[in-house]
């Protein structure tokens, strides 16, 4: 009788113990869930109004043709903006020979966020603008400098807004923002063919003389003409040859965000642009997000290298699309 009672009591105790244990497990699970929620990545908002004002500001300086006052003042302004937002800013002055044999002076600007972190992404664009509107429909304009709102200023504007964002919200990886100079002094269309090597003089110089000296990045992204209405970005061949996984990752994010009308997962012609030298000389796998238009005679956005590449061609929606893709990409990298 006494034994049975004891067993009964022990069973009851065991039951109570089990109930308490299961309750505490449930609570623990809840707490872990809360922690997971807290560590979930919050992707900051890319402000396209701010990006737009950065584009307009550059255009307002006047054409950023190396050797001119507008170019100098705009360069000084870019350095001052990056000084405000980044941890370290390097300015690299250089001289380079253009296709005529003349020597021009330029400045590459290179800004670092979290310079001590190994994992790094290099984001870049050219900040100079083309000295001749050689594709303008009116031949009288062929020797005038283009306003370069899309070709030049748009990529820089998007990256300045990213710099502002990263300054405000910590990022867990290293980010570098490079603004290349003397990208757009390639030979005009009616001149002998020099084989393309006179484009991208600033990035070519940097790739051969890196600053900081032992710099490396896991991968790079070049922005070129990322501000026009209904821009279309393709798997450009050089990007595909050297960095297909980065292309795929970027275009997958765009598709997830509902931007497949802009980021079209289809192949397009190769372009001699800054990413070529980052891939071949610096050996940093780099893609080019560049507006290619398969229906336009030049293959680029319709106002490419014309006087019409002005601020009225810049569309905040496009800046927003590109900005959101980049922000999502970099804040989800570990
Ligand atoms: C060539 O036309 C060979 N490259 C185009 C690079 C470029 C100029 N991107 C903007 N402007
Ligand atoms: Zn150009």
| Ligand in closest contact with the CA of 148 | 2
Q: What pairing do the DSSP bridges indicate for beta strands 286-290 and 219-224? A: parallel
What mean pLDDT is predicted for residues 177-198? 89
- Closest ligand 1 atom, CA of 196? 3
| Ligand in closest contact with the CA of 189 | 1
Band (pLDDT 50/70/90 cuts) for residue 189 is: confident
Residue 134 Cβ contacting ligand 1 at under 6 Å = no
Pocket test for ligand 1, best of 130, 184, 278 (most atoms within 8 A of CB): 184
Band (pLDDT 50/70/90 cuts) for residue 11 is: low
81 vs 35, residue with greater confidence? 81
Contact 153, 316 (CB under 8 A): no
Distances (CA, A) of 140 to 39, 155, 304: 59, 28, 16
Pocket test for ligand 1, best of 63, 99, 146, 186 (most atoms within 8 A of CB): 186
The one-character DSSP state at 312 is: G
Fold of 59-331: Aminopeptidase (3.40.630)
Pocket test for ligand 1, best of 199, 201, 275 (most atoms within 8 A of CB): 199
What local confidence, expressed as pLDDT, does residue 16 receive? 58
Residue 184 Cβ contacting ligand 1 at under 6 Å = yes
What mean pLDDT is predicted for residues 305-330? 98
Q: How far is the CA of 326 from the centre of ligand 1 (A)?
A: 22
Q: How far is the CA of 222 from the centre of ligand 2 (A)?
A: 14
Band (pLDDT 50/70/90 cuts) for residue 304 is: very high
User: Considering the chain, what percentage of its residues have pLDDT values greater than 70?
Assistant: 88
Q: Whose CA is nearest to atom 11 of ligand 1?
A: 184
The SS3 call for residue 80 is helix
Shortest CA distance to 78 belongs to which of 159, 146, 148, 145? 159
Q: How far is the CA of 300 from the centre of ligand 2 (A)?
A: 10
Pocket test for ligand 1, best of 183, 201, 273, 293 (most atoms within 8 A of CB): 273
Q: Whose CA is nearest to atom 4 of ligand 1?
A: 272
- Dump pLDDT digits (tens) for 83-117: 999 999 999 999 999 999 999 999 999 999 999 99
Band (pLDDT 50/70/90 cuts) for residue 177 is: very high
What mean pLDDT is predicted for residues 186-193? 83
Chain mean position to CA 288: 9
pTM value surpassing 0.75: yes
What local confidence, expressed as pLDDT, does residue 244 receive? 98
What local confidence, expressed as pLDDT, does residue 190 receive? 76
User: Considering the chain, what percentage of its residues have pLDDT values greater than 90?
Assistant: 85
Residue in the structure block whose two tokens are 């302004």: 77
Other C-beta atoms closer than 10 Å to the C-beta of 51 total 28
Distances (CA, A) of 20 to 14, 23, 27: 10, 5, 11
- Closest ligand 1 atom, CA of 290? 9
Residue 141 Cβ contacting ligand 1 at under 6 Å = no
What average pLDDT is seen over the chain? Answer: 92
Q: Cα separation of 92 and 80, whole Å?
A: 15
Cα angle 165-169-175, degrees, rounded to a multiple of 5: 70
Residue 274 Cβ contacting ligand 1 at under 6 Å = no
């Amino acid at each position: 009788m006494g034994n049975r009672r004891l067993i009964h009591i022990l069973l009851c105790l065991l039951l109570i113990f089990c109930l308490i244990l299961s309750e505490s497990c449930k609570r623990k699970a809840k707490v872990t869930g809360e922690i997971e929620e807290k560590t979930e990545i919050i992707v900051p908002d890319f402000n396209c109004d701010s990006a737009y004002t950065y584009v307009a500001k550059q255009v307002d300086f006047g054409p950023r043709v190396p050797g001119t006052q507008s170019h100098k003042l705009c360069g000084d302004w870019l350095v001052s903006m990056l000084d405000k937002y980044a941890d370290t800013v390097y300015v690299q002055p250089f001289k380079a020979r253009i296709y005529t044999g003349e020597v021009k002076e330029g400045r590459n600007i290179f800004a670092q966020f979290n310079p001590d972190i190994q994992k790094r992404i290099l984001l870049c664009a050219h900040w100079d603008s083309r000295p001749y509107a050689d594709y303008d429909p009116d031949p009288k304009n062929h020797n005038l400098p283009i306003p370069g709102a899309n070709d030049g200023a748009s990529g820089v504007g998007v990256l300045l807004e990213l710099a502002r964002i990263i300054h405000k919200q910590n990022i867990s990886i290293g980010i570098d923002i490079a603004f290349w100079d003397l990208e757009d002094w390639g030979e005009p269309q009616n001149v002998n063919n020099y084989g393309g090597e006179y484009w991208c003089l600033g990035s070519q110089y940097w790739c051969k003389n890196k600053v900081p000296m032992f710099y490396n990045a896991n991968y790079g992204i070049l922005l070129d003409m990322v501000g026009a209405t209904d821009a279309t970005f393709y798997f450009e061949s050089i990007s595909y040859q050297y960095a297909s996984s980065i292309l795929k990752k970027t275009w997958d994010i765009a598709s997830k965000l509902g931007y497949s009308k802009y980021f079209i997962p289809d192949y397009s012609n190769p372009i001699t642009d800054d990413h070529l030298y980052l891939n071949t000389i610096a050996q940093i796998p780099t893609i080019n997000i560049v507006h290619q238009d398969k229906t336009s005679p030049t293959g680029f956005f319709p106002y490419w290298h014309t006087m019409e590449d002005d601020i009225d061609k810049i569309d905040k929606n496009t800046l927003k699309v590109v900005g959101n893709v980049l922000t999502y990409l970099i804040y989800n990298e570990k």
